[in-house]
Structure 1
Amino acid sequence: MVGKSRQSLRNLAFEALISSYLLTGRQRQMGQRLELGPITCVHYDYKWEDQRRKVDNFFIWGVPPGEVAAIIAEYGPADDHLLFAVMDKPGLANEYMFAGFSALTPGNYLMAHSLDLIPQKPLPLEHSIHLASTAGETMFINVIEGADFVLMEDVLDPNLQFYYCLRGSEPLAMARNSRIGPDLSWISHVYTKPDYRGLGLASVLMSQIISDCLDAGDRFSLLLATEPAHGFYQRLGYQDLAPVLNFHLPPAI
């Protein structure tokens, strides 16, 4: 990757992954970042349907599974939790399994794109791409099933951009872009309603985002791709930085 080393991009992508859990106003209201020695935790504490919920997301890179278990056991994790562990050496997934962690499948991949234009497919008739900037457009994003709830303050944040696709007046797809540095962006929440997948809406959204990133002076785009979406992002020009697996803690913790 021209201009930054692969290791530098890995570091930036890992930090962006952690920060992405505290980007929006709602995330910041209910969450806080905790440093547990070499492990980072984003802890959420909030009410849902009159029930208090506590959720821990642990981010791990370069820490042996046994040490991970000891640190988190001392911390006292919430019942609802998820581990994001970078697989930076062969056989590490097996080490986690032998230590009692249970892996969730499919896996994920930190990826980077050294930005250039992505050939854009034409949108189907009556479809259009928009960048949210008003309360009404915030409502469009929030009615897309599967999308995280967005506040008006998020839409007004100059470092966050919320894209959505309409067919007539019906919202069908969305994606989020976050400016995380002078020449870096982090793309997330690329989502299309199930009944409208296969029409190329995600490709058009990504093409628009990357075009806007280039106009803003970005040189790299980073993201975390799920296994099912991995090939899609590879076809767009993204390259693997590191696999990331999700785990649940051993039952004894």
Structure 2
Amino acid sequence: MNDPIRTANAFLTSFSHTFQVTYATKSVDLAPLRGVDYRGTGYTPTDLEFGVIDTAPEEALYVLQTAIGAEELKVTLNVFHEEEEPVQDLFGPYQEFGFEMLYTSPVLKVDLPAPFEVAPVDIRMVTRTEDVAFANATLAEDDGRLAESVLVSSTVRDLITVMDEQVVASTEITLAADSMGYISKMYTLPDYRRRGIAAALLNRAHEEMLGAGRSASILAPSYMARNYYQRFGYAPAVYFSVLTRNFG
């Protein structure tokens, strides 16, 4: 049974924790807003990012304005809603306050177990510094590159696929939410796509989640990847719209 608010909270917890581990960001709790402070980490798209879950726009904006004051900051809001097309009552106040809406995306979810047939692929858990270096020798800087900080985390795990004596794909899962595992990224080198490698990684990610006691898997794929995950049983559980504004 789908519970949009529960899924939104699991996604926000997982998303924030992933960045905390991989980028050394700080978690920010401005109840009822929760988010991430990226300042000083080298992550430049925004300074602060918050999730807005089951909160009236007026309350969220009051809390945000009180906390920011006169600081010069770029702020991003992820406003969660149950329907794909949000009503104007939800976004009107944000737009009047100067926020620009960028796009709307679903959080996809599948209940576990969700078995499917996969190709025999050499998949390994990243556990050593040497594993990270081996992976980063071939993976792209932004899309698949691994962080050594994951090695000391009990809740973020990296999986890699080895083929032709090199790492050709990786995925990262987060187990920070009690009931749901989160797939933060899935990357395959272009020359190795359409060989079933991503499907094998996805299946292994599901197995890791099940082994850790999670009953569902969630992710927020790019627009181009949505249909791919839906082939494996993923379906929209909740939506979030991304809004941004420069303060100061």
Into which bin does the TM-score normalised by the smaller protein fall? 0.7 to 0.9
- The answer as to 2:83 corresponding to 1:85 is no
Q: Could you report, residue by residue, the CA deviation over 1:130-175 in whole angstroms, capped at 9, with x for unpaired residues?
A: 1111211111343411235411x42243322211122222222211
After TM superposition, the structure 1 = structure 2 runs for residues 52-131 of structure 1, keeping only pairs within 5 Å, are 55-76=47-68, 79-88=73-82, 90-92=86-88, 94-95=91-92, 96-97=94-95, 99-105=97-103, 107-123=104-120, 128-131=122-125
Cα deviation for residue 195 of structure 1 reads 4.2
More strand by share: 1
Quick one: structure 1 residues 87 and 54, their matched pair in 2 at CA, closer, same or farther if it must change by over 3 Å?
A: closer
1:211 alignment partner in structure 2: 207
Give TM-score, length-normalised by structure 2: 0.79
Superposition CA RMSD, Å: 3.1
- Report if aligned partners of 1:112, 1:238 keep a CA contact under 8 Å in 2: yes
- Report if aligned partners of 1:111, 1:239 keep a CA contact under 8 Å in 2: yes
Quick one: structure 1 residues 196 and 67, their matched pair in 2 at CA, closer, same or farther if it must change by over 3 Å?
A: farther
2:198 alignment partner in structure 1: 202
1:240 alignment partner in structure 2: 236
The one-letter amino acid paired with 2:226 is: H
After TM superposition, the structure 1 = structure 2 runs for residues 142-221 of structure 1, keeping only pairs within 5 Å, are 142-143=136-137, 144-145=139-140, 146-147=143-144, 149-151=146-148, 153-181=149-177, 183-221=179-217
How far apart, in 2, do the equivalents of 1:52 and 1:229 lie? 24
- Structure 1: runs of 5 or more not aligned: none
Cα deviation for residue 206 of structure 1 reads 0.3
- Structure 2: runs of 5 or more not aligned: none
Cα deviation for residue 182 of structure 1 reads 5.3
Identical-pair percentage: 18
Moved over 6 A (4+): 51-54
How far apart, in 2, do the equivalents of 1:227 and 1:52 lie? 22
How far apart, in 1, do the equivalents of 2:119 and 2:210 lie? 20
Q: Name which of 10, 14, 17 aligns with 1:19.
A: 17
Q: Name which of 210, 221, 226 aligns with 1:225.
A: 221
The one-letter amino acid paired with 2:47 is: V
Give TM-score, length-normalised by structure 1: 0.77
The one-letter amino acid paired with 2:78 is: F
SS at match of 2:194: coil
SS at match of 2:39: strand
How far apart, in 2, do the equivalents of 1:9 and 1:57 lie? 18
How far apart, in 1, do the equivalents of 2:87 and 2:165 lie? 50
SS at match of 1:206: helix
SS at match of 1:225: coil
Question: May I ask how many residue pairs the two structures share in their alignment?
Answer: 239
How far apart, in 1, do the equivalents of 2:199 and 2:45 lie? 36
How far apart, in 1, do the equivalents of 2:213 and 2:54 lie? 32
